Amino acid sequence: NAGVMQNPRHLVRRRGQEARLRCSPMKGHSHVYWYRQLPEEGLKFMVYLQKENIIDESGMPKERFSAEFPKEGPSILRIQQVVRGDSAAYFCASSPLGPDTGELFFGEGSRLTVL
């Protein structure tokens, strides 16, 4: 059973470009979470999705950021018109149950660098 798969592992973008980060959850997991981690900082919650639905996006900036988890295919975190402050590691996690009871399994992260 493969773990949570994230790609790309590393992404470099220039200011103003778009970044798309993909996350395939573990088999059988319908709950997906996205977190952002800045250097020397803890993980910060961004968005929680459950197949085709956004359950909680309270941690996601209102502009330029969007997330989806379609019926088929991976979850995608999309950042439009990137700025240098978007440079960070973005981690995806999945669980078979909701966040307060289900164990979370993390991917290896996607490291975005904005030039």
Interface positions with other proteins (CB under 8 A) = 4, 33, 35, 41-45, 47-48, 55-59, 91, 93, 98-101, 103-109
Residue 4: name the closest of 75, 92, 98 by CA: 92
Q: With respect to other proteins, which residue has the nearer C-beta, 34 or 79?
A: 34
Rounded Cα gap, residues 24 and 32, in angstroms: 9
> Strands 75-79 and 65-68: what pairing?
antiparallel
Q: With respect to other proteins, which residue has the nearer C-beta, 48 or 65?
A: 48
Q: With respect to other proteins, which residue has the nearer C-beta, 17 or 106?
A: 106
CB of 14 to other proteins, least distance (A): 23
CB of 72 to other proteins, least distance (A): 23
CB of 56 to other proteins, least distance (A): 3
Q: With respect to other proteins, which residue has the nearer C-beta, 33 or 65?
A: 33
Rounded Cα gap, residues 106 and 24, in angstroms: 11
* Cβ within 8 Å of residue 57, ≥6 positions away: 46, 47, 48, 67
CB of 16 to other proteins, least distance (A): 27
Kindly state the tokens that stand for 115: 């030039």
